[in-house]
Structure 1
Amino acid sequence: MTVLVDPENSTRPAPPDIASAANAPESRGWFRSFVLRLHFYAGILAGPFLLIAAVSGGIYAIAPQLEQAVYAKELHVPAVATPLPLSAQVKAAMDSAGGATPVTVRPAPGPEDTTRVLFADPSLGESEYRTVFVNPGTGEIRGDLTTYGSSGALPMRTWISNLHRSLNLGEPGRIYSELAASWLWVVALGGLVLWIDRIRRRRQTAPKKPRPAPGRARTVWLHGTTGTVMLAAFLFLSATGLTWSSHAGDNITVLRTSLGWLAPTVSTSLDGKPPAAAGDHASHTQAPAGAASDPAAYDTVQRIARADIITAPMVDIKPPAKAGTAWTVTESGREWPATASAVAIDPDAGKVTSRADFKDFGLAAKLTRWTIAAHMGLLFGLPNQLVLLAVAAGLSAMVVWGYVMWWKRRPTRGSAWAMGRPAPRGAFVRGHWAGVLAAMTAMLLVGMFLPLLGWSLLAFILLDTAIGEAKRRRRSSVPEAASDRSEALSR
């Protein structure tokens, strides 16, 4: 019986076929060997992050339906034929909140929906609001919950969103999601390169080499085929996911700003001077007293906005953040055709003072809004959600298949699976100097834009090269030690 031993774990000389595999980079191409090793180990290390992101993202895709079922009382009422004036609904909410002044009002977008009146609460987190839900037909208070962000996510969806974003660990937890988004496109493109190369090599060597065992071959086929079919979806999720990341997201914002890709905003100034910049906690600043605390002003502002460019059923009406500034009305719906037109209104003068029509937005600004809505599963409704579920299931399966392949290829002593190990360590530095320099320059540029990817990639190369060099030296010392022992015995 022949026992195959992993040359990296053995002190005996490697068999000729395994020894020749150690020189594979020179015969197969150093770059392919580097991509193979990078894809293999990046998948192993980034796999847990990708799996968590896929599972939590899949759950988030169906969160709207879960939210509608769990919070049906707060969100829905029997169909209202003739709603009360918006001012009456706002007054009911203000009375329920102890006379507080709203920071945003979202009128009921449909006859079976409730009106949301949002209040600032210093005890809540960033972008969180105390929201009172009002029956637009009777003024009844249907609920009082905390909502998050411009999407108005309720507590359950907020928890799922934070799980997907940061494992509910706050700012430190965002490192996980940024690593997952940063590595997803690298692993996906690297896998495509290897899959194409595998098909090409298999066609060339099929008559000469036997095919691998059916079990492992099927796993490799499923892994490669699924990754190729879903490549575009993986790249889309990676690119859009990075816009929410901490480090890379800041760089993306700077790039969009420099290229003029940001969506235009309305000016809220009423005296011709730009308003002072809001602080970090401006979202929780109580609206000033005066017109903003007069519920009747909401009727006037809504009427003026509807007579202008605001046509979407779901809008956000915001009173002035400070004295001497205008009200704003913004379309907030995300479904296709999702628009984001906005107007600034002076209710005392009864006119629009500034406007930003979505049709005049640049293509990049429109694409940003649409792609983010698609990433959230909101753009095309149920079909969008089903696609995201399928992609999440595919990515989860890809990670599982990858670990199965790793388990079958692991360098176990005395196992035939030891023959299936990936390209030897240090393949990158053994390439042609021009290719290595070009690759290092590309990685440096990518690392500057995606810091977590750059640092983790650098750590991989340095560690892999160091371990490979140490093991190479140990293997080279084995024949010398064996020769010394043989010479001593001969004496």
Structure 2
Amino acid sequence: MTTSFQPAGDGTANANANAASATARTGDAHRSALHAVLLRLHFYIGLFVGPFILVAALTGTLYVLTPQIESHLYAAQLYNQSRGEARPLAEQVKAAQAFLGPQARLFAVRPAKAQGWNTRVMFTQPGLGDSESRAIFVDPVSLQVKGDLIVYGTSGVLPLRTTLDYLHRNLMLGDVGRNYSELAASWLWLGALGGVWLWWHARRRRAGSAARSPRPMNARRLHALVGLWIVLGLVFFSATGLTWSRWAGERVSQMRTQLGWITPSVSTQLQAGAPAMSMGEHADHMGAHGMQMPMPQASDPARFDMVQQIARAGGIDAAEIEIRPPRAAQQAWVVREVDRSWPTQVDTVAIDADRMAITSRADFADFPLIAKLIRWGVDAHMGVLFGVANQILMALFGVALTGLIVLGYVMWWRRRPAAGASLAPLSQAVMHLAPLQRLTLAVLALLLGWSLPLMGASLLLFLLVDVIRYSRARRATA
């Protein structure tokens, strides 16, 4: 009698192999489920948020391309042909006040930055929007009023770019309209990074295929390539756009405050008997010139000349500056640099005009690194940091993003489901994730929903639409 003998190790090896195979199949299933979740989320972002991103891309591209157009369009207000020595700021301010009348409330003055440029004397008045002022353009040599325009923001942009800025920011719909741009910025980065993952997943799958053939250039491949080329720019647009958004911007401000990343600012409150700040290397200049100036009354426009000299002696050396008189008693004058090109000049000083001294200052060199990065990022986003090169780069990104979205809709139209058919819903894909994956996804969704409130609200809307679609599909097949 012959007895066959099989080593016990063979059975164990087979069992281990079967277990490894099952584990591999489970891992593949979980990766496939994750791919399905990201694919459907990418689809929802493109379909529902894509129009908002498209409008932001178009209006942003127009905005960064218009400085030269604006300079030509408003040449009569900006420039003059006068030759000679500029008259004191006091006389320029009085000329603007005489043009508007005594009821006008003086807000700030931006002295002519070079020969051939006009001075802006800015006033506030009822009916203007936030950050808007009425600018009277005065020839600093002849004292002729050369223009009267509404200007906007720290950059002092003129009406053409103000309109484009409002379109880009809020579709000219006020605070309600601001939700559109924040929604676009909230989802843009996730759509971009999700697209990169989908491209990588498809590339990895093709690499494992036995038969590979040359791929024709179609809408899907072009969409992927354009997305890869500009992905870093899209993340940059999203991050910088969120810093000045309404809801997410408040979260960013809170985080910066807690981490000590706030942008320094000057104190305008004056205290009796408080010591003046030293002006360092400029003190000798003030001793020789500034302290000899007469002491005009608080309401006298002549104080603009005195304050400007004190600021210049205190290190405010940019060609473009803005001088703001105090709005109430016991407040300081503020002089700030407004040149946001490279190298950035945005130093600010507060000046006690009675004591003819700088009482507070905020120098860009002393800003925390994060505050500097945010300042540079916002200025680059607006196309002002590196001049024409910055404008061209931002415009190219805007055109590429526009093309990316259009290609996405072409892909959807060509591959849209037939009438009566239904795509597998997002909620079903989520249920096929591993428990740890579902938990991680839920935690991330909660964190992002709190940090980016409009993303959280729209995600709930996506899920609601998804559940309704899923329910209808099940009833149709029942």
Residue 412 of structure 1 deviates from its aligned partner by 2.1
Aligned residues with identical type, % of pairs: 45
Residue 461 of structure 1 deviates from its aligned partner by 2.6
Q: Which moved more, 1:98-107 or 1:367-376?
A: 98-107
Partner of 1:181: 185
Partner of 2:149: 145
Q: How does 1:140-289 map to 2 (within 5 A)?
A: 140-205=144-209, 207=211, 214=216, 217-271=217-271
Of 308, 320, 324, which aligns to 1:318? 324
Report the AA paired with residue 334 of structure 2: T
Partner of 1:438: 440
> Which consecutive residues of structure 1, in runs of 5 or more, have no partner in the other structure?
1-22, 275-289, 478-491
Residue 458 of structure 1 deviates from its aligned partner by 2.2
Of 365, 377, 390, which aligns to 2:383? 377
Residue 106 of structure 2 aligns to a residue whose secondary structure is: coil
Partner of 1:467: 469
**Contact between 1:43 and 1:399, CA under 8 Å: does it hold in 2?**
yes
Partner of 1:283: none
Of 21, 41, 45, which aligns to 1:42? 45
Residue 424 of structure 1 deviates from its aligned partner by 7.2
Partner of 1:77: 80
**Contact between 2:149 and 2:158, CA under 8 Å: does it hold in 1?**
yes
Residue 472 of structure 1 deviates from its aligned partner by 4.0
Measure, in 2, the Cα distance between the counterparts of 1:370 and 1:272. Answer: 37
**Contact between 2:33 and 2:429, CA under 8 Å: does it hold in 1?**
yes
Report the AA paired with residue 165 of structure 1: R
**Contact between 1:33 and 1:423, CA under 8 Å: does it hold in 2?**
no
Q: Which moved more, 1:370-379 or 1:75-84?
A: 75-84
Q: 1:92 to 1:27 in 2, by over 3 A?
A: closer
Partner of 2:13: none
Residue 347 of structure 1 deviates from its aligned partner by 2.1
TM-score, normalising length: structure 2 = 0.85
Residue 370 of structure 2 aligns to a residue whose secondary structure is: helix
Measure, in 1, the Cα distance between the counterparts of 2:273 and 2:416. Answer: 67
**Contact between 2:79 and 2:118, CA under 8 Å: does it hold in 1?**
yes
Of 328, 333, 337, which aligns to 1:327? 333
Residue 291 of structure 1 deviates from its aligned partner by 3.8
Report the AA paired with residue 231 of structure 1: V
Partner of 1:305: 311
Matched, 1:401 2:403: no
Q: 1:319 to 1:442 in 2, by over 3 A?
A: same
Residue 230 of structure 1 aligns to a residue whose secondary structure is: helix
Residue 243 of structure 1 deviates from its aligned partner by 1.7
Partner of 2:3: none
Residue 52 of structure 1 deviates from its aligned partner by 0.6
Partner of 1:109: 113
Partner of 2:65: 62
Q: How does 1:20-31 map to 2 (within 5 A)?
A: 26=29, 29-31=32-34
Residue 102 of structure 1 aligns to a residue whose secondary structure is: strand
Measure, in 1, the Cα distance between the counterparts of 2:186 and 2:273. Answer: 41
Report the AA paired with residue 314 of structure 1: E
Residue 269 of structure 1 aligns to a residue whose secondary structure is: coil
Partner of 2:281: none
Partner of 1:339: 345
Measure, in 2, the Cα distance between the counterparts of 1:466 and 1:272. Answer: 67
Encode CA deviations 1:231-290: one digit per residue, 9 max, x unaligned.
Answer: 11101111111122211111111111222212111122222599xxxxxxxxxxxxxxx9
**Contact between 1:178 and 1:246, CA under 8 Å: does it hold in 2?**
yes
Partner of 1:488: none
Measure, in 2, the Cα distance between the counterparts of 1:115 and 1:424. Answer: 59
> Deviating runs (4+, > 4 A) in structure 1?
421-425
Encode CA deviations 1:43-69: one digit per residue, 9 max, x unaligned.
Answer: 011111111111000000112112111
Residue 208 of structure 2 aligns to a residue whose secondary structure is: helix
Residue 198 of structure 1 deviates from its aligned partner by 1.1
**Contact between 1:425 and 1:467, CA under 8 Å: does it hold in 2?**
no
Q: 1:206 to 1:47 in 2, by over 3 A?
A: farther
Partner of 1:92: 95
Q: Which has the higher contact order (CA 8 A, sep 6+)?
A: 1
Measure, in 2, the Cα distance between the counterparts of 1:464 and 1:25. Answer: 25
> Which consecutive residues of structure 2, in runs of 5 or more, have no partner in the other structure?
1-25, 275-295
**Contact between 1:331 and 1:341, CA under 8 Å: does it hold in 2?**
yes
**Cα RMSD after superposing both structures:** 2.4
Report the AA paired with residue 431 of structure 2: V
Q: Which moved more, 1:191-200 or 1:466-475?
A: 466-475
Encode CA deviations 1:58-97: one digit per residue, 9 max, x unaligned.
Answer: 0001121121111111111126452112122111111112
Measure, in 1, the Cα distance between the counterparts of 2:407 and 2:250. Answer: 34
Residue 144 of structure 1 aligns to a residue whose secondary structure is: strand
Residue 430 of structure 2 aligns to a residue whose secondary structure is: coil
Encode CA deviations 1:80-128: one digit per residue, 9 max, x unaligned.
Answer: 4521121221111111121334210000112121110111101222221
Partner of 1:17: none
Partner of 1:127: 131
Report the AA paired with residue 458 of structure 1: L
Of 117, 122, 126, which aligns to 1:118? 122
Residue 426 of structure 1 aligns to a residue whose secondary structure is: helix
Encode CA deviations 1:332-386: one digit per residue, 9 max, x unaligned.
Answer: 1111111221111122222111122221111111112111111111111111000
Q: 1:410 to 1:198 in 2, by over 3 A?
A: same
Residue 465 of structure 1 deviates from its aligned partner by 3.8
Partner of 1:426: 428
Measure, in 2, the Cα distance between the counterparts of 1:410 and 1:452. Answer: 28
Encode CA deviations 1:437-466: one digit per residue, 9 max, x unaligned.
Answer: 110111100000101101111221343244
Report the AA paired with residue 141 of structure 2: G
Q: 1:206 to 1:234 in 2, by over 3 A?
A: farther
Of 439, 448, 451, which aligns to 2:450? 448
Encode CA deviations 1:189-246: one digit per residue, 9 max, x unaligned.
Answer: 11010011111111112617x777x4xx521121111111101110111111112221
**Contact between 1:55 and 1:393, CA under 8 Å: does it hold in 2?**
yes
Measure, in 1, the Cα distance between the counterparts of 2:234 and 2:426. Answer: 28
Report the AA paired with residue 400 of structure 1: V
Report the AA paired with residue 67 of structure 2: P
Measure, in 1, the Cα distance between the counterparts of 2:214 and 2:245. Answer: 43
